A and B are shown apart, each in its own frame.
Chain A
Amino acid sequence: MERRVVFAGWLCPAVLLVPQMAVTIVFFFWPAAQAFNESLRRGDAFGLTTHFAGVANFAALFASPNYLASFWITAVFSASVAVLALAPGLLLAVMADRVVRGAALYKTVLLIPYAIAPAIAGVLWMFLFNPSIGVLAALLRWLGIDWNYFLDAPQAIMLVILAAAWKQVSYNFLFFLAGLQAIPPSLVEASAIDGASPRRRFWTIVFPLLTPTTFFLLVVNIVYAFFDTFGVIHNVTQGGPGQSTEILVYKVWYDGIVGLDLGGSSAQSVILMAIVIALTAIQFRFIERRVHYA
């Protein structure tokens, strides 16, 4: 006989659902609906004269070359941050997994950057690379590199990517390490007995078994690069030079808070919301098929 808890009537389940639903509605659906409503309106900041504008805000965005450029910047930025945060994380995890003595110390030290807020990470990197006072900037100058990220766009982009990725390496390291430790040692030992080299063992046994972790981290890292890197950009470049580091989420903040263009800013957040929903759906739908769940 099937063992199932059956609730009598609808009242009890409804009551049990209320807290979760309330949190979701108050903190997610309601603000999202507000943003959507605001994105269809235009008016002054004080709300004295607002009127329904249809899709005018969206049309204005897609007619703006700067907004379209921001898409490319965000794509390059997010992809680079994800790769640069995942690869070292995996490498460090594989190394730390082998360490026998002092393993706890290594792990603790490697985790420290994760405890740092993106804004602080931004300030840290800004001080290291500031063209006039940075220690590493002085080193670069000494090496003959004309370092001035206030004017040089590629340098500015590299700097914010490094600062954003650095902070996330720890997080990835932690999950990769947990993933590695969940792989049954017997599998690796069996292939070692069959004569597989460490490199071969990694790519044919360990890496495929890590794919659920890698997949999960890929999603998390891209969402991180899209949304949580605001502090890094704000503290290091403020979107400059020109608009070369103005990623989408920074532009939402800038147009809304600094520019007080609530309609345009809301339209951008609606677009951002759609992108993240689409991105997550694509990742789960297509990439997950190729993921090997142990």
Chain B
Amino acid sequence: MRSTMLAAVMAAVFMAMAGPTEAQPIELQWWHAMTAVNGDRINQIAADFNKSQSEYKVVPVFKGSYAETMTAAIAAYRAGHAPAIVQIYDVGTATMMAAKGAIKPVYQLMADAGETFDPNSYLPAVTGYYSTSDGKLLSLPFNSSTAVVYWNKDDFKKAGLDPNKPPKTWPETFALAKKLRAGGVKCGFTTAWVFWTQIANFSAWHNISMGTLDNGIGGPGAVLEMNNPRVVRHVANLAKAEKDGSFSYAGRSTEPESSFLNGDCGMIQDSSAAYGLFKKGLKSQFGVTELPYYPDVKGAPQNSIIGGASLWVMGGKSAAEYKGVAKFFTYLSSIPVQVKWHEDTGYLPITKAAYAATKASGFYDKNPGTEVALLQLTHKPPTANSRGYRFGNMVQISDIIAEDLESAFAGKESAKAAMDDAIRRGNALLRQFQANTQ
């Protein structure tokens, strides 16, 4: 009796272990970090792709936060069963890129699989961030956004200001913030993602270098330069505004959004992808406008840069699997998929054709403010300072800079001392990264 049971179990196990039969599609794991609406869209994209053909089956797997997804993919690679595709946040780009052999660059993937792939059909401000210095695409941009300004029209009215006249420059922003305060609004403005909006996008928008070797895109030997006089002056201005209450720092990432949602802050600088959140949650009328700039900085405004995540293809897979990934990437870049992704989630389209199609459909006219991000990104052709940035250990470096900004805003350190400290600690991490990956 027992032996027959055992035999039955064994048979079942062997059947389960047997390789896929001819009719079964090749499974491609896609690890991601998207929740809520974005997660639903991912599942839908995969399901639609799977329905469109029978050779491959993309299986999306939610792996937690960005950091957790990246760690999971690395651990899986070390254990020898990495997923085919993994979503990696922008700041992880240098780490992925340095892992030669562990990843398969997208340009190579497309060439090997014989997929038609025209890098010029993509938006350069989006793909530039994920390309080598000579323009070869390493990973497929997936969810990208840029920093914009949202302003609360009701708060503007309350303070006796013109609700349809948001600030254009930084001096105007500080002046308006003071007037908002004087007019009974609790805080003039706040900022989400403080490093990304106030340092990274600030630098690109003013065409200022964040680090040598084209912001690190040229190689791992880059040195940070974010303690330059323009950034220091800006941080000092923010610290001054924090002191008089016209600027209110409320956390490093998305925490400040609640201060805008409840009407406390008249303005917030935040990701363009937060549009849906504010549209759903804010009771007042609000508008979206471009980032402010300092008029005395020559060449400003330049163009803003993206943040978000891209899809990396892991190394060590079979040619058949890579063919499937290439086909999926072509599908993902197609106009209908891109347009729907852009309209549903607020993330930017990655191809010029998808942008044109969205525009033609009248979406931007029906949803005023949603085009600001794209106008900002395509404002001028990107320069070496505004294409993006790629530093090793970037996650820690962005946290270090946020920490030092906090010290400056709290009045514990001068803006200059805070930025000097950030750059000293950041450069030490860069050298460590360089030593560990070579």
Contacts and interface: CB of A to CB of B under 8 A. Distances in A.
Contacts of B99: 44-46, 48
A258 B262 contact: no
A150 interface: yes
A258 B395 contact: yes
Nearest to A255: B396
A55 to B, nearest CB: 16
Contact of B78 (A47, A130, A243, A257): A47
B396 A258 contact: yes
Contact of B250 (A131, A257, A258, A261): A131
B237 interface: no
A258 B429 CA distance: 14
B102 A150 contact: no
B258 A151 contact: no
* A contact patch SS: loop
Given A242-B403, A257-B68, A130 B410 contact: no
A148 interface: yes
A89 to B, nearest CB: 32
B403 A260 contact: no
Contacts of A260: 70-71, 74, 95, 395
20 contacts: A42-B436, A43-B436, A44-B95, A44-B99, A46-B99, A46-B102, A48-B100, A48-B101, A49-B436, A49-B438, A132-B250, A132-B258, A148-B250, A151-B409, A153-B410, A240-B402, A241-B403, A258-B67, A259-B396, A261-B436
B144 interface: no
Contact of B258 (A130, A148, A153, A255): A130
Nearest to B186: A132
Counting from the closest, the 4 A-B pairs by CB-CB distance are A132-B259, A241-B406, A46-B99, A46-B102
A50 to B, nearest CB: 9
Interface string A228-256: 00000000001011110000000000010
B264 interface: yes
A66 B437 CA distance: 24
B159 interface: no
A44 B259 contact: no
A152 interface: yes
A261 B70 CA distance: 13
User: Interface residues of B toward A: which range?
Assistant: 35 or more
Interface in B228-279: 242, 248-252, 255-256, 258-259, 262, 264
Interface in A96-134: 130-133
Contacts of B74: 45-46, 260
Contact of B262 (A44, A48, A49, A133): A133
Given A48-B100, A259-B395, A259-B396, A132 B264 contact: yes
B109 to A, nearest CB: 18
B78 A46 contact: yes
Nearest to B245: A146
Interface in B367-409: 393, 395-396, 399, 402-404, 406-407, 409
A242 to B, nearest CB: 5
Contacts of B258: 130, 132-133
B329 interface: no
A151 B403 contact: no
B34 interface: no
A260 B67 CA distance: 9
B95 A45 contact: yes
